[in-house]
Structure 1
Amino acid sequence: MNDKCNGVRLPERTVPFPLSISREAQEALRRAVGEDGIPLNALHVMPDLSDFNGWMKLKAFADVYYQAAAERLAGQLRASVETVRIEEACVHIATPGGAFPEDYAYIDLHGGALVMGGGAACRAGAQTQADQHGIRCYGIDYRMPPEHPYPAALDDCVAVYRHMLKQYRPENIIIGGRSAGGNLAAAMTLRARDEGLPLPAALVLLSPELDLTESGDSFEVNRLVDVVLPGSLMPNNLLYAQGTDLAHPYLSPLFGDFSKGFPPTFLQSGTRDLFLSNAVRMHRFLRRAGVPVELHVFEAMPHGGFMGAPEDRELSEEVTRFVRQHLGRGQRT
Structure 2
Amino acid sequence: MGLSSIYYNLSYNFCNLKDDLAVVLLDYSLAPEYIHPTQINEAMDVWKELIKEFKPENIIVGGDSAGGNCAMALVQQIANQKMNLPKAAIFISPVTDYSNSFESHFKNYQKDILFGNPKEPLTKEFHEEMLKKGLNSYYVGDMPIEDRKNPLISPAFGNFTTFPKSLFFVGSDEMLLDDTLNVVNKIKKENKNAEVECIVQEGMIHCYPIYTTLVSESKQAQEKIKSYLLENLY
**TM tier relative to shorter chain:** 0.7 to 0.9
Q: Choose between structure 1 and 2: higher strand proportion.
A: 1
**Against the structure 1 CA distance between its residues 133 and 204, is the aligned structure 2 distance closer, same or farther, given a 3 Å change threshold?**
farther
3-state SS of paired residue (2:24): strand
Q: Does 1:263 align with 2:148?
A: no
Q: Mapping of 1:178-193 within 5 angstroms?
A: 178-193=64-79
**Against the structure 1 CA distance between its residues 253 and 133, is the aligned structure 2 distance closer, same or farther, given a 3 Å change threshold?**
farther
Alpha-carbon contact 2:2-2:30 (below 8 Å) kept = no
Shift of 1:159: 0.5
Q: Mapping of 1:70-89 within 5 angstroms?
A: none
Q: 2:155 aligns with which of 253, 258, 276?
A: 253
Match of 2:177 in 1: 276
Residue 310 of structure 1 aligns with an amino acid whose one-letter code is S
Q: Mapping of 1:1-333 within 5 angstroms?
A: 116-118=1-3, 120-131=5-16, 135-230=21-116, 234=131, 235-242=134-141, 243=143, 245-259=147-161, 261-289=162-190, 290=192, 291-305=194-208, 307=211, 308-327=214-233, 332=234
Name the CA distance, whole Å, in 2 between partners of 1:159 and 1:298. Answer: 34
Shift of 1:145: 2.0
For each residue in 1:31-58, what CA deviation from the matched residue of structure 2 results, as whole angstroms up to 9, or x when unmatched? Answer: xxxxxxxxxxxxxxxxxxxxxxxxxxxx
Which structure is larger by alpha-carbon Rg, 1 or 2? Answer: 1
3-state SS of paired residue (1:257): coil
Task: Report the TM-score, using the length of structure 2 for normalisation.
Answer: 0.83
Name the CA distance, whole Å, in 2 between partners of 1:229 and 1:175. Answer: 26
**Against the structure 1 CA distance between its residues 122 and 296, is the aligned structure 2 distance closer, same or farther, given a 3 Å change threshold?**
closer
3-state SS of paired residue (2:60): strand
Alpha-carbon contact 1:133-1:320 (below 8 Å) kept = no
Task: Report the TM-score, using the length of structure 1 for normalisation.
Answer: 0.59
Paired positions, count? 212
Shift of 1:270: 1.5
For each residue in 1:52-79, what CA deviation from the matched residue of structure 2 results, as whole angstroms up to 9, or x when unmatched? Answer: xxxxxxxxxxxxxxxxxxxxxxxxxxxx
3-state SS of paired residue (1:223): coil
Alpha-carbon contact 2:95-2:179 (below 8 Å) kept = yes
Alpha-carbon contact 2:17-2:230 (below 8 Å) kept = no
3-state SS of paired residue (1:136): coil
**Against the structure 1 CA distance between its residues 272 and 119, is the aligned structure 2 distance closer, same or farther, given a 3 Å change threshold?**
closer
Residue 241 of structure 1 aligns with an amino acid whose one-letter code is V
**Against the structure 1 CA distance between its residues 274 and 160, is the aligned structure 2 distance closer, same or farther, given a 3 Å change threshold?**
same
3-state SS of paired residue (1:156): helix
Shift of 1:272: 0.6
Shift of 1:224: 3.0
Segments of 5+ residues of structure 2 without an aligned counterpart are 118-126
Alpha-carbon contact 1:122-1:141 (below 8 Å) kept = no
Shift of 1:203: 0.7
Alpha-carbon contact 2:114-2:205 (below 8 Å) kept = yes
**Against the structure 1 CA distance between its residues 268 and 120, is the aligned structure 2 distance closer, same or farther, given a 3 Å change threshold?**
closer
**Against the structure 1 CA distance between its residues 121 and 298, is the aligned structure 2 distance closer, same or farther, given a 3 Å change threshold?**
closer
Name the CA distance, whole Å, in 2 between partners of 1:269 and 1:237. Answer: 19
Q: Choose between structure 1 and 2: higher helix proportion.
A: 2
Shift of 1:124: 4.2
Name the CA distance, whole Å, in 2 between partners of 1:179 and 1:128. Answer: 20
Higher relative contact order (CA 8 A, sep 6+): 2
Name the CA distance, whole Å, in 2 between partners of 1:150 and 1:204. Answer: 22
